[in-house]
Every structure is written in C-alpha cells, then in structure tokens.
Chain A
C-alpha cells in the first residue's frame, strides 16, 4: 500500500514540475535559516556557540543582566535585565547584591523571584541540587568562572558570591538564562530522573523571554510565538521559525527561492546575486577578533616586539577585506577605536610596509634574510571566517616584506584544544603563532585570559606564555574596579598597553553578515554577536 502510494506520488510529481509553489500566508512570521546543523538546545543554556544564545537563548529567556541590542551605531553594553540594579558589597568584594525586577512571570505563569534565581544558579553550580544538570555546566561554567553560589535576601533581592573580587561578574551573568523552576518540577513529576526532566523541559520550555517556544522538531525547525505578556517592549513579529541549514549554498538557495526570509552568514560570493534579487545585506563589526596569537618564549622570533610590530604594519587588511567581499572589518586592536576599552595606544596599527621593513632590518632581518614564522591554523571552525583563503592571502602578501610564513593546518577541534596547551607543548609543533578567533565582549575573554601570567597553560588561553608583571598589575586593578567608569578606564589602560606591545597580530573583526528579504522591516544589526528579535517584522 505504502509503495503504491509512493509510486503515485513520484509519478504525480513529474508532470507537475512546472507548477510554481504557492506563496505561503505570512501573518508576521519570520523564517530564519541558521548555520547550525541542529536547533540549539532550548532548555535555557543553548549549545552551538553564540548562535545558540542568539536564537534559543535571548528570545526565549532573560538573564539578570542583558546586552543592549537596540542600536547599530554604538558598542553594545550591559543593561538591566531581570535585575534592575546591582552593586558589589564594599565590605566584602566577593559579594554582590542584585535587585530583581518585579511583576515578571514565566511563560507557564509562575512568578520570577529570588527563589527562581537561586534555583537557576544551583542548576549548574550545586552538584547536590536535585535539578543539577552536568550537560549545562560545560556550556555555562566557563563563561562565568568566578561565580560560586547565590543566597536569598528577600523575595526580590539576592546575593551572589564569587571566588575572588571580580568586577566582571555582571557581564558574565548575561550567559545565565533563567528557566522556570515550576515548569521543570512539573516535568520532573512525570519523568524518571532529572536528566529526563530536562529533556522534557527542552521540548516544552518556559522562560521569561519575549518569545515562547511553540513547536520543536529536532534538527528541522523550532517555532516561537510572541509572548504577549512580556515585561519589556513586546516583539513585533507574531512568530519566528528557525531552520538549521548548515550548507551555505543551501541557505542562499533557500532565501532566493523564498523558503526563508533571512539567512545567517551568506557566502560572500553569493552576495552579488542576492543583491541583484533585492535582498538586503546587513553587517556590523562584532566583538570578535581573528588574530595570529604570538608565542613569546625564547627562540620564537615573535618574542621580539619589533617583529610583532612589523607584522602588524605589513598586513594589507583592506586587500583582505576585498577577498571577503567586504565582509570583514580591519582589526587594529582587540576592540575598535571609540570603544570604552580602546584607550590611547601610542602604536598606530596601519599598513606601512616601509616602516615594517625598517623594523625588520633593525631586528636583523631583510629581503635577503627573511624571517620564518610558522603559524598553526585550521581549515574551518566556528568564528574562523574563511581561514584557508585568508591565511593564504596573508602568506602571499607578507612575502614581499620579508616574511616567510609557513602553515601547519590542523583540524579545528585539535587547534582549539592546542590553544589550551601552549606554544611550548609538543602539540604546537614548533609554531610561533596560532590562529584561533575569539569573542571579545567580555574583558576576561578579550584580554585577561591572554595577558595575565597565571592564565598560562594549562589554566587558560595564554598560549604564548606571556609574562609581564606590569600587565598582571593592570589586570588586578581592573578586577578590583567596581565602579563601571573606573573599571572601563582600567581596561582601557590595559588594552592600550597591549596594543603598544603588539601582543597580537590583529587582522580582522567579523561583521556577521546576514541577508534578508526586503519584506523584513525594522531589523537592527547591533555591534554584537546577538540580535534583538523583538525588533523585526515582516510585511
């Protein structure tokens, strides 16, 4: 019976080839083609990197502190979310007081309060908690390394404790999404164990976000509907549909054939075709850095600041941007000029090949004696942009200044693992630099883990074993600066010093290109990895 059916179906399909698919009724539904191969986890701590936070974190859930995603023309900063204000306790700098927003309810109707915050901290930090979920720890703990526990002060106030004074905690907390304890308990009552309860929760989650999940087909689609009871500005679109389309060409084809309204990361080569069909290409620099990270130990040519500076000056970032079809912003520091942490570096990173040659000559190298630098790179990877084309371009480009660049191409996961092992480990295979891109919206991830001596392997990502007491002091000062303005000033001094010492070979910032149908209105692409899905609507 089934076969006959299938046969009929196939035959029926043949003569019908010429029929055009009918337009689907829209009704304010935005269909988005993601780059992930699966719907990111929906239980509150998404996987799939920051694309997960972007699509199943921020729209479904809120965190105590949130990113301001409303403007395209200024750096995205931390703003109040489910907490309206916070301060560190002057008597005990490891203790923070957070005042919670009143009148917020979860999608299931249960109230958001201090108990819910404590429950959500315990889900990843308290192994004894009945709802502790090991799977969420890996996705969360490393993004808020100093948080230890939470304590209720009253229904609308909590105290959070850190392992050491850490002024960066409010920024880290953007990664802890608040799931509904009441909804989870209901799932728990119908399931054999906590893990199963979390799986059930993921299928029918409950947060406080501007959208609630209405349908989840793993690996195929997630549908979200507007939360009309949202505490803040409500979403304009009625529904959002998320579709995982990992293949770049398939994404482009899906947009061009009208199957989706918006795609993430179109390939640069498809952009002319997209533009010709009136698609809108959005882009904005992201807090992302695509660098070569130097090895500072003895024997590495990059231990010499003159060679690091020469490299920074020799790179033709505009040419690279052309290679990427314009989808890149030249990086002249970890953050861009104008950012609160920019500072005023004395070393002006630009393309100046003569100055680069002069510095090289000063260091004892020249056209007849090129300096050989071995860089460990990957062929692909999240945030790595187009690593092979870009590195090959740099290799060709730097040859004319007197750099002989060699590559050790390894698998992305291996490269990422090596990053924690350091340049003296056998895994580095004698490389003088490593090409791992990173997110830079949080000072710990942007600077501290690379430049503090105690972050050397195996602790964190100070791959090059950089060790300078001056930098350690500046970092300690930043950690202990609890006034935002004071903290930003300390970070700016740190960043300026880093640029002066050329602690990275800064090459590119990703601009997060996305293409959308002209029917999508009101979309704002902030200077962030994230977007505010409340803003766009469809016509």
Chain B
C-alpha cells in the first residue's frame, strides 16, 4: 500500500539524496555535466525557456488585444492574414490568446506545485528529522489524503468550494502537498542518520542549524526534481478542472478553458480548436522530459 510502501520514485530519490549528501563536493557539478551531454533534456529546457520568455513578455510579443474580438472574423482558419493561427469563437486572435493564455496556464501549473513544495518540504523535513510522534501525526494525516486518487481529490475540493482560480489553486495544492511530504520525509530520514549529521549533532550544533545546513542542503535538490515532474500533472489537472467548469472563468485566456470553449468549433476549424490542447501537451511533455533528464543525471549509476 502506498501508505507504507514508498513508491519506486520515492525510493530512488532517497538514494539520490544520500548520494548527493555523501559526495556533496562536486556532485552537482557532475550532475550538470551529465545534463549538458543529454540533448533531449537540453532541448526541452530550451523550449520551456523560450515559452517562458514569450509568456512573460506577452504584451510586447502578442500581435493583438487578447480580449478584443469581432463577430465578422470569428473562427478563421490557420494562415489567415494578420491572424496566423486563426481566430477563436469570438473572433479574437488565437496566437495572442495562446500567448496570453500561457500566463495563466503556467501559473496554474506552477503555483500549486510551488506552494506544495514549500508546505510539503517544511512538513516532510520536520517529520523526517523529528521522527517519533511528530512524524506519526504528519505522516498519518498524509495517508488520509493518499486515500484519494489525485483527480478525485482535486474535483472533490474544487467541486465543493465552487469554480474559480483561487479554489482551483487551493484544491491542486492540497493534491500535491501529501506527495511532497512523502518524498521530503523519506529523503530526510535517509540523510538524517548519515555520519556527518551525527557528527554535527554530537559537536553540539542546534537542531535548526543541522536542518538548515546539513539536511535542507541535501534534500532540496531531489525534492525539487520530483516537484518539476509534478508541474506536468498539475497543468493537465488544472486544465481538466477548467474543462469541467471548475477552474478559470471566461473571458480570461487559459489553455484549458480555451480548449473547453473551442471544442464546439472542432467541426468548423478542427486545427484551430486543437491548438490549446497542443500547447498543454507540449509544455507538459517538456516538463516531464526535463524532470526525467534531471533525475537520470542525478542517478550516479545511470
């Protein structure tokens, strides 16, 4: 059961954390060297970086106003003059909407994971380092959330709270916190008993210092890599919530919502209608491959 057996990924990360801790000198340099030699990971990183730049500078890059449409030019196809990617159901420029939509989609993909990273790492490290009853309390609570498949948990919380960005972020954060707690706890536990931690403890260093210097320094990397893999899941989940009408509200551009509102146009302009889905797909696959590449690079054996 997932509540007692760590998943393969968690076990792998714990091993990596131990490796990182033992060879902290030069370990990350080695990881970086290996990543540099992996063309796929580098390509994904470049694609994501390019997307990020375009999204951040959306108002400068986008050719049109994302909200201004016209009924006369609604649902134009790919390659229309001035509208290279066509127009949506309200005659708004698709390219512009996709660029601006990336902002909210990335936001919805990253923020819940980032929040979960902060909360989950804090609680997980606390549980792993303190052990005993604290560990018991935190981990058993986590087990309860593990009793829900993640889609179900997200739908349950945002379905009960109602639609909206805030509620969706809350729901998604609650989906990922337990997962990150699990990983943080298991890597912390594996680092905690290493010799140099013991040494630090016996030399009279305070718990806070030990955690800050020795534990966090070694566990953050593996947890971070794990979290990057969650971004892809989070994007698909958040766009799924929008598809169910539980996420972003119109007229805000967001890929999941665009997919939702454009789906009736799949008979008129199929290629335009699938664009937001393709954007989610590309982003999500890049994050996944990036995370895989990082994980592989950190695995000394591989």
Contact = CB atoms under 8 A, between A and B. Distances in A.
B264 A396 contact: no
Interface in A363-396: 379-380, 388-389, 392-393, 396
B163 interface: yes
Contacts of A392: 67, 69, 90, 251
A272 B251 contact: no
A273 interface: yes
Given A322-B71, A392-B67, A411-B163, 4 more contacts: A268-B264, A269-B264, A272-B267, A379-B245
Interface string B247-265: 0011100000000000111
A249 B89 CA distance: 15
B68 interface: yes
A269 B267 contact: yes
Contacts of B68: 396
A446 interface: no
B264 A388 contact: no
Contacts of B71: 319, 322-323, 393
Interface string A240-253: 00000000110010
A272 B264 CA distance: 12
19 contacts: A248-B264, A249-B266, A252-B264, A252-B267, A268-B264, A269-B89, A269-B264, A269-B267, A270-B267, A272-B268, A319-B71, A322-B71, A379-B245, A388-B250, A389-B90, A393-B71, A409-B250, A411-B162, A411-B163
Interface in B60-80: 67-71, 74-75
Contact of B264 (A270, A322, A379): A270
6 pairs of A and B residues whose beta carbons are closest in the complex? A267-B264, A273-B267, A269-B264, A388-B250, A269-B265, A323-B71
Interface residues of A, number: 21
A502 to B, nearest CB: 25
Interface of A: 248-249, 252, 267-270, 272-273, 319, 322-323, 379-380, 388-389, 392-393, 396, 409, 411
Nearest to A247: B263
Contacts of A273: 267-268
Given A249-B263, A272-B267, A379 B249 contact: yes
Interface residues on B, range: 20 to 34
A502 B137 CA distance: 65
Interface in B38-74: 67-71, 74
Contacts of A272: 267-268
Contacts of A248: 264
A467 to B, nearest CB: 35
A270 B67 CA distance: 24
A269 B67 CA distance: 20
B264 A409 contact: no
A270 B262 CA distance: 11
Contacts of B266: 249
A71 B181 CA distance: 67
Contact of B90 (A267, A268, A393, A411): A393
Contacts of B162: 411
A267 B265 CA distance: 9
Contact of B251 (A270, A322, A323, A388): A388
B89 A379 contact: no
A270 B267 CA distance: 6
Contacts of A268: 264
Contacts of B264: 248-249, 252, 267-270
B207 to A, nearest CB: 48
A319 B263 CA distance: 23
Given A396-B68, A411-B163, A323 B268 contact: no
A231 to B, nearest CB: 42
A21 to B, nearest CB: 21
B267 A409 contact: no
A362 B131 CA distance: 77
A268 B162 CA distance: 28
A396 B90 CA distance: 11
Contacts of A319: 71
Interface in B246-293: 249-251, 263-268
Interface in B89-119: 89-90
B90 A269 contact: no
A396 B251 contact: no
A73 B263 CA distance: 34
Q: Which of B67, B75, B162, B266 has the most CB of A within 10 A?
A: B266
B154 to A, nearest CB: 19
Given A392-B69, A393-B90, A380 B268 contact: no
Given A269-B265, A269-B267, A323-B71, A389 B249 contact: no
Contacts of A249: 263-264, 266
A392 B75 CA distance: 16
A249 B70 CA distance: 24
B69 to A, nearest CB: 7
B27 to A, nearest CB: 46
B249 to A, nearest CB: 6
Contacts of B245: 379-380
A323 B74 contact: yes
Interface string B206-222: 00000000000000000
B86 to A, nearest CB: 13
Contacts of B265: 269
Contacts of B163: 411
A427 to B, nearest CB: 15
Contacts of A379: 245, 249-250
Contacts of A252: 264, 267
A46 B279 CA distance: 43
A380 B163 CA distance: 12
Contacts of A270: 264, 267-268
A249 B268 CA distance: 12
A269 B70 CA distance: 16
A392 B71 CA distance: 11
A389 B267 contact: no
Contacts of B249: 379, 409
A419 B31 CA distance: 62
A268 B74 CA distance: 13
A252 B263 CA distance: 11
A409 B164 CA distance: 11
A385 to B, nearest CB: 14
A203 to B, nearest CB: 29
A393 B71 CA distance: 8
A32 B4 CA distance: 50
Nearest to A410: B249
A340 B245 CA distance: 41
Nearest to A266: B264
Contacts of A322: 71
A342 to B, nearest CB: 29
A392 to B, nearest CB: 6
Nearest to B245: A380
B148 to A, nearest CB: 23
